[in-house]
Structure 1
């Protein structure tokens, strides 16, 4: 049962399991809820085409192909959290600046990149992403939805919100038969991943270590086996199992989809 999700995306096998989070009465399926509004600042990088925002520290590659588009932002290291912030969704609105658009419109962003510290600049004058600042360096088209781009930097209110994704989680393969590196994309709910496991048809569940951004790795001989994955959300602690995501003849350089996602 194959379905092409994208020219570089191979379709999925049968996948279905939502485990949820353990409770005293068994398992529940927690739903991520919006957090309170907080104050931060926002800048932008790149131009109106957002070409400079493609790729990024999370490893999502071409953001149009992976479904994120131009509504994205690079996070300061405080929010990026060593890559565990990848995929998280935020609502932002410009406040307390003459450059804010009337009505203070709200835009929703996905975290796809890291805004690194610039220790050569003062934190209040150019070093906007220096710790402990909470900062969003937005793709320019996203910034232009809330403020005049000539402002350069504006104060914003932000909050974490549920990531609403179309379709299931996607797994982009790199590595080889003995070292599998997987980039996890299109994650719903909290949008993030805390832990990940892989299971071949000849193995039990193998814990994958966090590499960087939204990538996880397993040092194991998994060639010639259909692969299943188990993931836990960093935020909601919900767990999902995606059975038989990739066929036995899986290949690096391809992305495999499933029909399961976080809520």
Structure 2
């Protein structure tokens, strides 16, 4: 059956509206729920969760707090999922869960490594191909009782809501620069990073580990701009966010961040 021209125009308008909204806010707006399990680590004060495989350091100082998780290797993807955010709810027995409608949002800040000495269903919770969240203890205790130890959960990818602009911390030395990118909103995880000095064009950086991105050129004495691409293909450019007088060990704050609706 042929469609009328007004109906086709209406479909086109709706598609443009939906596409534009996805480009503006990203694709992670609450997807389908998936199944996994969750445990906890780090103690009640969360001190054992600081640092980690993403490189964020002191999670309290960096603004991530204790609503964080170490992902199993099947989810961690060698660090590419660092900074991504997930909504999690407990789906186990009522005697262990604190409410099936209760959910929390956590940021991926660490890796839960495989334990090959234990079977996947008895201690090797983070062995591939399992999807597993090792939560900071305070986060786990908002979903389930301490005595549960491990609980089945449902999870879905959601946008990260961060306050203020993206942060860039520069370490290394003259010909080996590492830039840690953190406090990233929207998708939260970065798939491409570029740098531009005042005296040079855009150069691709290589991901070294976690969300530390590497360049092997001399950038000292130049104002620096960074171009960040997240996993939902959104791009943000922080022009001249680093002044020419920058020093290794300093952190610089962009006026920009990715929005999460």
Would you call these one fold, judging by a TM-score over 0.5? yes
- Stretches of structure 1 that go unaligned for 5 or more consecutive residues are 1-23
Structure with larger RCO (C-alpha < 8 A, sep 6+): 1
How far residue 177 of structure 1 moved from its aligned partner, in angstroms, is 2.1
How far residue 104 of structure 1 moved from its aligned partner, in angstroms, is 3.6
Q: Which moved more, 1:217-226 or 1:246-255?
A: 246-255
Query: In the TM superposition, what whole-angstrom CA distance separates every residue of 1:118-149 from its partner, at most 9, and x where no partner exists?
Result: 00000000000000000000000000000001
2:56 aligns to what? 60
2:73 aligns to what? 77
Residues in 2 aligned to 1:62 and 1:136: alpha-carbon distance in whole angstroms: 20
Aligned positions, number: 238
Contact 1:178 1:223 in 2 (8 A): no
Query: In the TM superposition, what whole-angstrom CA distance separates every residue of 1:129-172 from its partner, at most 9, and x where no partner exists?
Result: 00000000000000000000111100000001010111110011
Aligned-pair Cα RMSD in Å: 1.5
| Residue 100 (1) aligns with residue 97 (2) | yes
Contact 2:171 2:248 in 1 (8 A): yes
- Stretches of structure 2 that go unaligned for 5 or more consecutive residues are 1-18
Q: Alignment partner for residue 118 of structure 2, among 112, 121, 142?
A: 121
Residues in 1 aligned to 2:121 and 2:170: alpha-carbon distance in whole angstroms: 40
| Residue 143 (1) aligns with residue 151 (2) | no
Q: Are residues 28 and 80 of structure 1, via their aligned partners in 2, closer, same or farther at CA, if it must alter by over 3 Å?
A: closer
1:175 aligns to what? 172
Structure number having the greater helix percentage: 2
2:185 aligns to what? 188
Contact 2:25 2:258 in 1 (8 A): no
Query: In the TM superposition, what whole-angstrom CA distance separates every residue of 1:170-214 from its partner, at most 9, and x where no partner exists?
Result: 011111122110111000000110000001111100100011111
1:153 aligns to what? 150
1:240 aligns to what? 236
Q: 4+ runs of 1 displaced by more than 6 Å?
A: none
* TM-score, scaled relative to structure 2: 0.88
